Amino acid sequence: MTKIAIVYHSGYGHTAKVAEHVQKGAAHAGAKVDLIAIDAEGNLPESAWATLKAADGIIFGSPTYMGMVSWQFKKFADASSKPWYTMDWKGKIAAGFTNSATLNGDKGSTIAYLALLAAQHKMLWTGTDMHPSNNKAATRDSLNNLGGYQGLLVVSPSDASVDEMIPGDLKTAEAFGANVAEIVKSVKR
């Protein structure tokens, strides 16, 4: 069974919900998935580092705050210099997602940073493996209607509670999780 770890930060619960949907999709595709939350202080449970080391693929997730990952995610990234030093994550599949309030919201720089982090670890970055829904018939409920290739993009409108997140985005998160799981499976074979 392929093992995937999803390591994410969420300040107010929206990105956590995205992570749960990515997990659902990956699990549906047959992977064993561990959800690892970075806490409000930017720390992980100590055992999570072993889970990350044992994973075949790691999916990074962060809200976009001021056009970048949250400081808590960056603290995790800096702490990952320890497994970097021994190249523990080298050769693992990596992917990433972000969530923010605005349709664009400068999510691109967050995803680019996640891909850069993966490159520093000599991981193999994979995108969403999804076409964008960008024709006249597309709506916010269409699959990948935000058109992310490099990573999964989600919008949580600024006044939306976690329960009011956009169904199309959560459906896209599940499809993304399934795609990453299939890629991890094919590389592991």
Ligand X SMILES: Cc1cc2nc3c(=O)[nH]c(=O)nc-3n(C[C@H](O)[C@H](O)[C@H](O)COP(=O)(O)O)c2cc1C
Report if residue 100 touches ligand X, rule: CB under 6 A.
yes
Q: Which is nearer to ligand X, 95 or 183 (CB)?
A: 95
| Choice from 14, 74, 92, 185 touching ligand X (CB under 6 A) | 14
| Choice from 39, 45, 50, 102 touching ligand X (CB under 6 A) | 102
CA 93 to chain centre: 12
Report if residue 137 touches ligand X, rule: CB under 6 A.
no
Report if residue 21 touches ligand X, rule: CB under 6 A.
no
Whether 19 contacts 8, CB under 8 Å: yes
Return all residues near 55 (Cβ < 8 A) that are at least 6 apart: 3, 4, 5, 34, 92
- Distance of closest approach, residue 103 Cβ to ligand X, in angstroms: 8
Return all residues near 159 (Cβ < 8 A) that are at least 6 apart: none
**How far is the C-alpha of 55 from the C-alpha of 46, rounded, in Å?**
15
Report if residue 105 touches ligand X, rule: CB under 6 A.
yes
161 CB-contact burial (10 Å; exposed 0-12 / middle 13-18 / buried 19+): exposed
Interface segment toward ligand X; rule CB under 6 A; list 11-19, 52-60, 87-95, 179-187? 11-19
Site for ligand X, rule CB under 6 A: 10-15, 63-67, 99-102, 105-106, 156, 158
